Amino acid sequence: MRKLTIAGLALATALTAGCATTDQGAIDEANATASSAESTAENAMNTANSAASTARTAQRTAEEALAAAKAAQRAADEANERAKRMLERSSQK
Protein backbone atom coordinates (compact mmCIF):
# COMPACT_ATOMS: atom_id res chain seq x y z
CA MET A 1 0.00 0.00 0.00
CA ARG A 2 2.80 2.32 0.87
CA LYS A 3 4.48 1.66 -2.49
CA LEU A 4 1.19 2.42 -4.25
CA THR A 5 0.83 5.73 -2.38
CA ILE A 6 4.40 6.73 -3.24
CA ALA A 7 3.84 5.74 -6.87
CA GLY A 8 0.62 7.81 -6.92
CA LEU A 9 2.40 10.83 -5.48
CA ALA A 10 5.23 10.44 -8.00
CA LEU A 11 2.69 10.22 -10.85
CA ALA A 12 0.81 13.28 -9.56
CA THR A 13 4.08 15.21 -9.28
CA ALA A 14 5.10 14.21 -12.81
CA LEU A 15 1.70 15.25 -14.21
CA THR A 16 1.82 18.56 -12.35
CA ALA A 17 5.33 19.23 -13.65
CA GLY A 18 4.18 18.34 -17.16
CA CYS A 19 1.24 20.71 -16.91
CA ALA A 20 3.47 23.45 -15.54
CA THR A 21 5.88 22.96 -18.42
CA THR A 22 3.01 23.03 -20.90
CA ASP A 23 1.57 26.12 -19.23
CA GLN A 24 4.99 27.81 -19.32
CA GLY A 25 5.25 26.92 -23.00
CA ALA A 26 1.84 28.48 -23.63
CA ILE A 27 2.84 31.56 -21.67
CA ASP A 28 6.09 31.85 -23.63
CA GLU A 29 4.20 31.45 -26.90
CA ALA A 30 1.64 34.05 -25.85
CA ASN A 31 4.42 36.46 -24.89
CA ALA A 32 6.14 35.91 -28.22
CA THR A 33 2.85 36.52 -30.06
CA ALA A 34 2.18 39.67 -28.03
CA SER A 35 5.69 40.93 -28.71
CA SER A 36 5.28 40.27 -32.42
CA ALA A 37 1.91 42.06 -32.42
CA GLU A 38 3.45 45.02 -30.61
CA SER A 39 6.27 45.18 -33.14
CA THR A 40 3.79 45.00 -36.01
CA ALA A 41 1.70 47.78 -34.47
CA GLU A 42 4.79 49.93 -33.97
CA ASN A 43 5.80 49.39 -37.61
CA ALA A 44 2.28 50.29 -38.73
CA MET A 45 2.37 53.47 -36.64
CA ASN A 46 5.74 54.44 -38.10
CA THR A 47 4.42 53.82 -41.61
CA ALA A 48 1.30 55.90 -40.89
CA ASN A 49 3.39 58.75 -39.47
CA SER A 50 5.66 58.65 -42.52
CA ALA A 51 2.66 58.67 -44.84
CA ALA A 52 1.15 61.63 -42.98
CA SER A 53 4.43 63.53 -43.26
CA THR A 54 4.63 62.77 -46.98
CA ALA A 55 1.03 63.92 -47.42
CA ARG A 56 1.75 67.20 -45.62
CA THR A 57 4.77 67.78 -47.85
CA ALA A 58 2.69 67.03 -50.94
CA GLN A 59 0.00 69.44 -49.78
CA ARG A 60 2.56 72.23 -49.26
CA THR A 61 4.00 71.56 -52.71
CA ALA A 62 0.53 71.65 -54.25
CA GLU A 63 -0.27 74.93 -52.47
CA GLU A 64 2.99 76.45 -53.75
CA ALA A 65 2.23 75.24 -57.28
CA LEU A 66 -1.27 76.73 -57.08
CA ALA A 67 0.11 80.07 -55.90
CA ALA A 68 2.62 80.04 -58.77
CA ALA A 69 -0.12 79.19 -61.26
CA LYS A 70 -2.30 82.05 -59.96
CA ALA A 71 0.63 84.46 -60.27
CA ALA A 72 1.26 83.26 -63.83
CA GLN A 73 -2.42 83.70 -64.64
CA ARG A 74 -2.37 87.28 -63.30
CA ALA A 75 0.75 88.04 -65.35
CA ALA A 76 -0.87 86.57 -68.46
CA ASP A 77 -4.06 88.59 -67.86
CA GLU A 78 -2.03 91.78 -67.48
CA ALA A 79 -0.06 91.02 -70.65
CA ASN A 80 -3.31 90.43 -72.53
CA GLU A 81 -4.71 93.73 -71.29
CA ARG A 82 -1.57 95.59 -72.41
CA ALA A 83 -1.70 93.90 -75.81
CA LYS A 84 -5.38 94.76 -76.15
CA ARG A 85 -4.71 98.43 -75.36
CA MET A 86 -1.83 98.52 -77.84
CA LEU A 87 -4.08 97.07 -80.57
CA GLU A 88 -6.78 99.59 -79.79
CA ARG A 89 -4.28 102.47 -80.00
CA SER A 90 -2.78 101.22 -83.22
CA SER A 91 -6.20 100.80 -84.82
CA GLN A 92 -7.10 104.43 -83.94
CA LYS A 93 -4.10 105.78 -85.80
Q: How do residues 44-80 score in pLDDT, each as one tens digit?
A: 999 999 999 999 999 999 999 999 999 999 999 999 9
Predicted TM-score (pTM) of the model is 0.56
Per-residue model confidence (pLDDT) at position 4? 54
pLDDT score of 87 more than 80:
yes
List the chain domain ranges. 1-67
**Dist. CA 93–CA 82, nearest whole Å:** 17
The pLDDT of 75-87, averaged and rounded, is 96
* Residue 10: predicted pLDDT: 61
| Least confident window among 8-17, 36-45, 48-57 | 8-17
Q: What is the DSSP string of 41-78?
A: HHHHHHHHHHHHHHHHHHHHHHHHHHHHHHHHHHHHHH
